[in-house]
Structure 1
């Protein structure tokens, strides 16, 4: 990892790509955080904890990095495409992709719009292009770690479906709506939504977040019990932005992007002041801060995910004013060591 870190630092210095200001969080990382890649965003752990899947950039290629060696290999170079915005491991090791069929460099953001972004399955042998599932998706889908189940938002509705294989070809079956934004309890009724995880355990609860409020920049972490058809507001804050991210494998906590350390920021600045927190999924609303990248308001940390054994977290760093979801490299956080040293920057 020391060799990888030197390569990382040299690349940054030579290309002047990031953190040129003083007091960069990369200048003084705690000993439980190490750089994993010098580019990339929106990571996802392999089930064995040995590899991390990630997107090169918004509308870019998909890559996989081996955690112990830092070796990076492309996953989508074997076919032509218009770029992807999400890549997630399915329970069988295949990859669920989200991306548009067409890309217009003169109007790029429409390719991230739900009207254009579709879901695809890429087989893990990488011998063929991905197969479209025939549905559109708003932002990130949720993927079961145990079953071939997925959930996604489209319009004002969240759907759930199952991926099955017919003569080796993946297909989406038994898909149906779970609820609409109009079903949400106050204060989130009518807000926009994005799925995140099936809660570990029996996976009967879908974790998602809803965002709206003044300027559209208030967010709450919710759970939806698919058997009881009941909602739970876990973050319970009507004055902050709390976006659900990776769930811990014991199902007791979730990582959250939040601006709680700068609650007086309003409007668009909500997105400029993010750091990573750990939220208990016990309805207490209790949170503790994990990263301190936004101590310098020029930077932020976001999009964290936890390995299946609960030992490590991968997250991305970025400039505070970067668009939501953009990452400038991935970092690895040892959660066991963090637990011993939590609260120290």
Structure 2
């Protein structure tokens, strides 16, 4: 009887493997703490700088990777409440966020929009008159940009509808604007809510995340798939092929053969709920089989911790990501870590 009870309890014992403490106290030799505050990093096209936000609905910063000098780009703007800062191919920036902060839900969803910010000192953000959902895909080679629109930021849309849009940032006029705006893909239900991620193969293809709302009965936060679209043919591919796990693509490798993924596959060994909270960073080969996943970080080995929001340098030599807590809302971070491949 005792032996039977032991065998029944053994799986639970094997799952209870998370460590106590702080993963930043045990960084591997190929990692270093780049900043002790901030979230949502982004490499410049020449890999000389990393842009990041100090906090959600906060100010935008950039750090020089040689001098380690940090500059604030929006601190002269009263009430700045941005969520993301991303480099354009010409060295300027795209800012994402509301004009002003109302509350974390309205400002992140209904009022979320795109802004242009010149890299010239003292520049002010210029509204691009485009509401959008969460993040954007921005080319490192051209002025191409992609973003998604949903019923959350466009109340006139049907409930649960979302679509991927492509546009170009045009600087030829008196003020920056978006031109050639057009739809490339759409979803009509909550089994695939869309978010643009990264261009690759000379901007002919793009990765995006398909969020699956409460697809798994034991998960209250929903799951996600790594998807890709050929912008010439319209063909869509499910790259992760893992319907029972969370897989959010974040950061393309320059050869276009791999992407970094916020994934929860380690939950099978460590226990806990599937979804966006118990995540670490994985590397996925974009061959469509979903079989080649390699774990890159082990922050979720520690109770209450995760690594998230990875980006890859355009030379493929480094990755930047943020350290975060599993209890936080997606995107919240407490410092940027630099990872050398």
CA distance in 1: counterparts of 2:190 and 2:331, whole angstroms: 25
Contact 2:259–2:285 (8 Å) recurs in 1: yes
1:154 pairs with one of 149, 157, 160 = 149
2:226 pairs with one of 217, 221, 236 = 221
CA distance in 1: counterparts of 2:221 and 2:22, whole angstroms: 30
| Partner secondary structure for residue 282 of structure 1 | coil
Equivalences for residues 139-178 of structure 1 within 5 A = 139-155=134-150, 156-178=162-184
| Partner secondary structure for residue 300 of structure 1 | strand
Shift of 1:166: 3.1
CA distance in 2: counterparts of 1:236 and 1:135, whole angstroms: 33
Equivalences for residues 39-78 of structure 1 within 5 A = 39-78=37-76
* Structure index of larger Rg: 2
C-alpha RMSD of the superposition = 1.7
What TM-score results when the alignment is normalised by the length of structure 1? Answer: 0.85
Unaligned runs of 5+ in 1: 1-20, 183-187, 336-345
Match of 1:181 in 2: 187
Match of 1:109 in 2: 105
What TM-score results when the alignment is normalised by the length of structure 2? Answer: 0.86
Shift of 1:297: 2.7
Q: Aligned residues, how many?
A: 305
Unaligned runs of 5+ in 2: 1-18, 151-161
1:132 aligns with 2:145: no
CA distance in 1: counterparts of 2:32 and 2:234, whole angstroms: 41
1:258 aligns with 2:263: yes
| Partner secondary structure for residue 111 of structure 1 | helix
CA distance in 2: counterparts of 1:330 and 1:180, whole angstroms: 33
Match of 2:196 in 1: 195
Shift of 1:216: 5.0
| Partner secondary structure for residue 294 of structure 1 | helix
CA distance in 1: counterparts of 2:319 and 2:101, whole angstroms: 32
| Partner secondary structure for residue 101 of structure 1 | coil
Equivalences for residues 75-114 of structure 1 within 5 A = 75-104=73-102, 107-113=103-109
Shift of 1:108: 2.7
2:309 pairs with one of 303, 312, 315 = 303
